Amino acid sequence: MKTSEVLSPTTTPESVYPQSAALQARAHQLIPGGCHTYAKGDDQYPVLAPAFLARGQGCHVWDVDGNEFIEYGMGLRSVTLGHAYPSVVEAAYRQMLLGNNYTRPAPIEIDCAEALLRAIEAAEMVKFAKNGSDVTTAAVKLARAYTGRDIVAICAEHPFFSVDDWFIGSTPMAAGIPEAIRQLTVKFHYNSPQSLTELFRTYPSRIACVMLEAETSLRPEPGFLEEVQRLCAENGALFVLDETLTGFRWDLGGAQKVYGLRPDLSTFGKGLGNGFAIAALAGKREFMERGGLRHSQERVFLLSTTHGAENHALAAAMATLRTYREEPVIETLHQQGDRLRNGANQAIHHHGLEGHVEILGRSCNLVYATRGEQRAPSQAFRALFLQELIRRGVIAPSLVVSYSHSDQDIDQTIDAIAGALGVYRKALDDGIAHHLVGRPVKPVFRPFN
């Protein structure tokens, strides 16, 4: 869609994105929700958004109607280097030519384990899987088995840990999850060690593990993370750090390196394989060994999936980790995020939108908040902002950069943000209905951007 195209409240997706709209109709006929990943669904986007992307290169994508966009938060933040990144694709391809799954393990399973453990200092053993959810769920199981306890304490402000019942049962979309399971997940508050202490007091000797991310758009107050670690040790619960988003983005050694933490278990996913399906549960030997053969305790059925060690995904992960080591990837993510944040903040200031639009988070992992007339969080204004960015050639459910975002991409994005905010300003002044096309479906919850 071009900025010059005149929109009216009656503009239809069919007139702007004919191919996308046709696929959308078919998709909803065949696939519940129209796609296989919640956060890619139509309820997360404005009505006037390209519904299907056909191709990606670096940080650019092309939709099925042939429109080109600069993309942010690519692959739900899993594509850190760039789409179709040559050295990663080449490594995966070369491995596929050797076959990608045998009846016994392949040596690459050890090589990849060594490469990961070299980066994550507190971990001594690792087990691979396909999704972040596989490994957070495995962490919970291991913690329950090791401690003999049943309750899991998670951070209330952290939006997503797993697709599995122990977590989804705690969200507003808990249909199908028995109450008995829901009772076993309890919540504490970020930056409130008191709230965690309170949980330990309410459920004495019942909390198996405490799971949180080190940092989201909320920064930890000095001493908070250390205090969580200390409270876990004091109360006999495992300290589990979910590094699905922070791993290989904050630092090669994860957020645990930045904050000097030594979690009992930590989980990785996005960022590990540049979009290939690979996740990892890493941790101290004392706990991880319970999933192994060399002990006399009851064995934990720890992560066994047919495709868990698919060889080409491991090859992709090794090539990705090598790129992180040999090139200034993490430095670039932070630098380009700084450039984007500064430009976006200037545009916000220029349009007098402080308090309505806010850029949040670490530079390597920027998100934004949208607020309406009364400065309350507004899904409608989020849809409008997205719509106007898309009109200007940018798809940005978040502002999470990749190693492929050049200065030119960032500057073009800043121009798009400035243009979109101009419309945002007008919508605040004369009513959003004059500017937002269609009525987007409201998501039940928005787990991630």
Residues that bind ligand PLP (CB under 6 A): 76, 131-133, 136, 160-163, 213, 242, 244-245, 269, 279, 448
Considering the complex, state which of residue 81 and residue 154 has its C-beta at the smaller distance from ligand PLP: 154
Straight-line distance from the first to the last Cα atom of the chain, in angstroms, rounded to the nearest whole number: 22
SS3 131: coil
Considering the complex, state which of residue 244 and residue 404 has its C-beta at the smaller distance from ligand PLP: 244
Cα 166 to Cα 200: distance, rounded to the nearest angstrom: 19
CB of 132 to ligand PLP, least distance (A): 2
**Reading across the β-sheet that carries 53-57, which strands appear in turn?**
53-57, 60-63, 68-71, 394-395
Is the distance from CB of 273 to CB of 320 less than 8 angstroms? yes
CB of 305 to ligand PLP, least distance (A): 12
CB of 277 to ligand PLP, least distance (A): 8
Residue of minimal Cβ distance to ligand PLP: 132
CB of 120 to ligand PLP, least distance (A): 16
CB of 215 to ligand PLP, least distance (A): 11
Q: Which of 43, 72, 68 shows the shortest CA–CA distance to 54?
A: 68
CB of 301 to ligand PLP, least distance (A): 19
Considering the complex, state which of residue 359 and residue 400 has its C-beta at the smaller distance from ligand PLP: 400
Considering the complex, state which of residue 161 and residue 239 has its C-beta at the smaller distance from ligand PLP: 161
Which bin fits 376, alpha (ψ -120 to 50), beta or left (φ > 0)? Answer: beta
CB of 131 to ligand PLP, least distance (A): 3
What does the DSSP assignment read for 49-61? S---EEEEEBTEE
Cα 52 to Cα 149: distance, rounded to the nearest angstrom: 45
Say how many C-beta atoms besides its own lie within 10 A of residue 51's C-beta. Answer: 24
Considering the complex, state which of residue 162 and residue 413 has its C-beta at the smaller distance from ligand PLP: 162
Tokens 């309410």 identify what position? 202
User: CB burial class (10 A; 0-12, 13-18, 19+) of residue 50?
Assistant: buried
Considering the complex, state which of residue 48 and residue 396 has its C-beta at the smaller distance from ligand PLP: 396
Cα 82 to Cα 175: distance, rounded to the nearest angstrom: 36
Is the distance from CB of 306 to CB of 164 less than 8 angstroms? no
Considering the complex, state which of residue 7 and residue 302 has its C-beta at the smaller distance from ligand PLP: 302
Considering the complex, state which of residue 63 and residue 215 has its C-beta at the smaller distance from ligand PLP: 215
CB of 2 to ligand PLP, least distance (A): 32
